[in-house]
Amino acid sequence: LEHWTYVCESCGHTESIETEHWRCPVCGGAFGLEGPNRLIPDKIDPSAPGLWRYGHLLPVDTSDAVSLGEGMTALVPGKLAGRTVRFKLDALLPTGSFKDRGAALLAAHLNRIGRRRVIVDSSGNAAAALSGYSAAAGLECAVFAPAATSPGKLVQSRAFGAAVTLVEGTRDDVARAAQDAAANDRSAFYASHNWHPVFVEGVKTWMLEVWEQLGGRQPAMVFVPTGGGSALVGAWRGIQALPGQPARLVASQPAACAPVVSAVERGTSIEPTTPGTTIAEGTKIGSPSRSRQILAAISETQGTARAVSEQEIVDTLRELWGQGLYVEPTAAVGAAACRQMILAGDTLPAGDIVVLLTGSGLKATETIEKLIGDD
Amino acid sequence: LEHWTYVCESCGHTESIETEHWRCPVCGGAFGLEGPNRLIPDKIDPSAPGLWRYGHLLPVDTSDAVSLGEGMTALVPGKLAGRTVRFKLDALLPTGSFKDRGAALLAAHLNRIGRRRVIVDSSGNAAAALSGYSAAAGLECAVFAPAATSPGKLVQSRAFGAAVTLVEGTRDDVARAAQDAAANDRSAFYASHNWHPVFVEGVKTWMLEVWEQLGGRQPAMVFVPTGGGSALVGAWRGIQALPGQPARLVASQPAACAPVVSAVERGTSIEPTTPGTTIAEGTKIGSPSRSRQILAAISETQGTARAVSEQEIVDTLRELWGQGLYVEPTAAVGAAACRQMILAGDTLPAGDIVVLLTGSGLKATETIEKLIGDD
């Protein structure tokens, strides 16, 4: 563990693995982690459950880990607009989204540093994931959610025993309330999926699994729903650990909230945008914290970014459901970008096309019921 | 495949693997399958996805299979009333329940025999599983459900493209409507989880996985929620394939509907009972079709049957959720029986205690919201 260092993506300031800061104390930027991030095939431990097989690449002590069955989700062939692609089924993780990979790592991290109270701001998958892993690890969990959150979305977190606080105001107000609560309590920890680099180091395991599942090769291109960017930056961290030609990452966003796409198209940094209305709620993040890591993930893999319309998301959902893949709207954003390129006749690189499916359709029954209402 | 034979559990009548009957044409009894059901460790194929690693024990041709990521669910340690047990997480299967194991086999079976239309009677997990695998296999699916089914429970099946028909009357009326629809259509197939033996041969893989996950040994005792009995009879079929001392099977039922428990206690055959009110809807089956196989599974493994109260189910749900295991009420019935024995001070056999968790909590948001309403 002493080989890992927190590095601010903005100013380069470093902190040791023992730091208690969740963002750069100098400039406020997001941290990444640098360390022994190089896959050594002989060190993969097939006897360890799920993602823990990659213990040698993780900045936690696996003896601190709890397991709910996270990782080693299936990679299955399927179709988009008639073309064969491979879907990575992270919707089938324990609490129903890819965020379990990050939450599992954070729970192990907290066990090590001895914090007993997990504080998170989220109304959706991150709250469920952190609540679930907190329960498994015997930690308290406090969820701060926007006042407008529908009660049904918080049932899972509440069942896990999380204390839910509803906060009036903007999404930033909610985050600030969580950060303040953590700052005033020495036993607490702001376990943010949007900020904490240990979370991303957990998420990277999805790409390591894909590499193994393809028989030890990287895919040619990878489509990732992108909001706060942890799935995308996680994929990049995985790619960095792998041998061979890097997979090209495609950050996929709803057109109603596409600050990454705008930045890539203009060749600028990511500028905050006000999210419009989209069915893909999990990607409705106008100002992602890890903005430089997101752009680096795209440029260093020779990737790109694509915006998809609401209609494209809905059409893609129907294609996915129609082949037995039950995902929530946000999870279809990567697939929608892939389908858009295929339908547009864009040339896809030779090799495997992989699409990450991030969250379960069982989380969005009401929304899906409305969508299929006319069928 | 020619080594497999349908055998009626009641009169012993046999049919070849090519039969089109879903129940015994002589006496109306439920079929079981007899064949090469003996695990050969060298024939386990770790390169095959999920449960297909056990292809040599399955009465289908694996080249007919479609995959949505079924099988190889985690076996994780956890607690019930303070005692360590192991939970088999079949709630994390692709459509959210253990029934995906049976549905995956039935889809492969249908591909082989060339039927294109799947007919199923269910309002819950079986409908979702058969609809999902029908979609994956490119088959049509028709779901017959009780008129009183809440619309939310059918959203998943409808998203998969199933045509849903609501039927007034009793549960038997619903089954009869489905059977009639299948009988009048030569391209159709009554793919009943309650009757078809191929379904059970898929379900048996959960026990084969447990054996491997325990390092090649059988557990000492296994707790299984029991309604129609496919999870229990599947476990027994798995045990029959395995070397070593058979695991003792405990059929677990809600006290409000416990015809198996009554039969075991009285030493009689299973007599139809009128189900009372229970939160564990999936086990609300007053007259299971595979009644002899259920009793044989218990007696031949020196197992038993336990009834649990509604309060015990709710208390167990809280224990499961409180350790990060998000399951629906029906899924807690096996765990509740185990917890009941522990709290009563009953002697459990030395060795591993395994509890099957059958279905996802994400399927029961409304019910769970009511249960945690007072917290």
pLDDT, tens digit, 9 for 90 and up, residues B237-258: 999 999 999 999 999 999 999 9
Closest CA to B228 of B287, B274, B275: B287
Measured CA to CA, the distance from residue A114 to residue A117 in angstroms comes to 9
Indicate the average pLDDT of chain A. 96
Average pLDDT for B169-182: 93
Q: How many Å is the Cα radius of gyration of chain A?
A: 19
CB-based contact, A360 to chain B, within 8 Å: yes
Task: Check whether B374 has a pLDDT greater than 70.
Answer: no
- A259-266 and A291-300 helices cross at what angle (nearest 10)? 50
Structural contact between residues B136 and B66, judged by C-beta atoms closer than 8 angstroms: yes
Are A322 and B372 inside 8 Å of each other by CB?
no
Handedness of CA A165, A171, A175, A176 (dihedral sign): negative
Average pLDDT for B90-97: 98
**Cα of A147 to nearest chain B Cα, Å:** 18
What is the pLDDT at residue B60? 97
E-only strand ranges, A71-182: 75-80, 83-89, 117-121, 140-146, 163-167
Q: Could you give the strand order of the β-sheet that contains A31-34, starting from the edge strand earlier in sequence?
A: A14-16, A5-8, A31-34
Residues of chain A in contact with residue B360, where contact means CB-CB under 8 angstroms, are 96, 362
- pLDDT per residue, tens digit, chain A (375 aa), is 889 999 999 999 999 998 989 999 999 999 999 999 999 999 999 999 999 999 999 999 999 999 999 999 999 999 999 999 999 999 999 999 999 999 999 999 999 999 999 999 998 999 999 999 999 999 999 999 999 888 889 999 999 999 999 999 888 899 999 999 999 898 999 999 999 999 999 999 999 999 999 999 999 999 999 999 999 999 999 999 999 999 999 999 999 999 999 999 999 999 999 999 999 999 999 999 999 999 999 999 999 999 999 999 999 999 999 999 999 999 999 999 999 999 999 999 999 999 999 999 999 999 999 999 855
Structural contact between residues B260 and B306, judged by C-beta atoms closer than 8 angstroms: no
Mutate to test the interface with B, among A52, A66, A92, A328 (most CBs of B within 10 A): A92
Task: Give the Cα-Cα-Cα angle B158, B162, B168 (nearest 5 degrees).
Answer: 85
Residue B263 is given by DSSP the state H
Structural contact between residues A324 and B160, judged by C-beta atoms closer than 8 angstroms: yes
3-state secondary structure of A371: helix
CB-based contact, B92 to chain A, within 8 Å: yes
Mutate to test the interface with B, among A47, A68, A367 (most CBs of B within 10 A): A68
Task: Give the Cα-Cα-Cα angle B41, B355, A324 (nearest 5 degrees).
Answer: 75
Residues of chain A in contact with residue B151, where contact means CB-CB under 8 angstroms, are 369
Structural contact between residues B96 and B360, judged by C-beta atoms closer than 8 angstroms: yes
Token pair belonging to A299: 């440029």
CB-based contact, A357 to chain B, within 8 Å: no
**Cα of B138 to nearest chain A Cα, Å:** 7
Structural contact between residues B258 and B337, judged by C-beta atoms closer than 8 angstroms: no
Alpha helices in chain B (DSSP H): 99-113, 125-137, 155-159, 171-183, 197-203, 205-213, 230-241, 259-266, 291-300, 310-321, 333-343, 365-371
pTM exceeds 0.90: yes
3-state secondary structure of B74: coil
Measured CA to CA, the distance from residue B264 to residue B295 in angstroms comes to 8
> pLDDT, tens digit, for every residue of B194-227?
999 999 999 999 999 999 999 999 999 999 999 9
Q: How many Å is the Cα radius of gyration of chain B?
A: 19
**Cα of B73 to nearest chain A Cα, Å:** 7
Q: Is B302 left (phi over 0), alpha (psi -120 to 50) or beta?
A: left
> pLDDT, tens digit, for every residue of B321-359?
999 999 999 999 999 999 999 999 999 999 999 999 999
How many DSSP H helices and E strands does chain B contain? 12, 13
Mutate to test the interface with B, among A90, A328, A362, A372 (most CBs of B within 10 A): A362
What's the complex ipTM? 0.97
Question: Do the bridges between strand B248-254 and strand B163-167 make them parallel or antiparallel, or are there none, so unpaired?
Answer: unpaired
**Cα of A162 to nearest chain B Cα, Å:** 9
CB-based contact, B21 to chain A, within 8 Å: no
Total residues found in chain B within this entry? 375
Q: Residue B7 pairs with which residues in a beta bridge? A: B14, B32
From residue A352, alpha-carbon distances to A214, A215, B54 in Å are 8, 12, 27
What is the pLDDT at residue A74? 98
Structural contact between residues A308 and A355, judged by C-beta atoms closer than 8 angstroms: no
Are A158 and B89 inside 8 Å of each other by CB?
no
CB-based contact, B150 to chain A, within 8 Å: no
**Cα of B118 to nearest chain A Cα, Å:** 14
Residues 6+ apart with CB under 8 A from A256: A275, A276, A277, A278, A284, A310
- The CB density around residue B10, as the number of other CB atoms within 10 Å, is 16
Q: What percent of chain B has pLDDT over 90?
A: 95
- φ and ψ at residue A319, rounded to 5 degrees: -65, -40
What is the pLDDT at residue B375? 55
Task: Give the Cα-Cα-Cα angle B363, B368, B371 (nearest 5 degrees).
Answer: 160
Total residues found in chain A within this entry? 375
Handedness of CA B111, B117, B118, B123 (dihedral sign): positive
Measured CA to CA, the distance from residue B270 to residue B254 in angstroms comes to 15
E-only strand ranges, B90-208: 117-121, 140-146, 163-167, 188-190
Structural contact between residues A197 and A32, judged by C-beta atoms closer than 8 angstroms: yes
How close are the terminal C-alpha atoms of chain B, in Å? 54
The identity of residue B185, as a single letter, is: D
Least confidently predicted of B1-5, B125-129, B267-271: B1-5
Indicate the average pLDDT of chain B. 96
What is the pLDDT at residue A123? 80
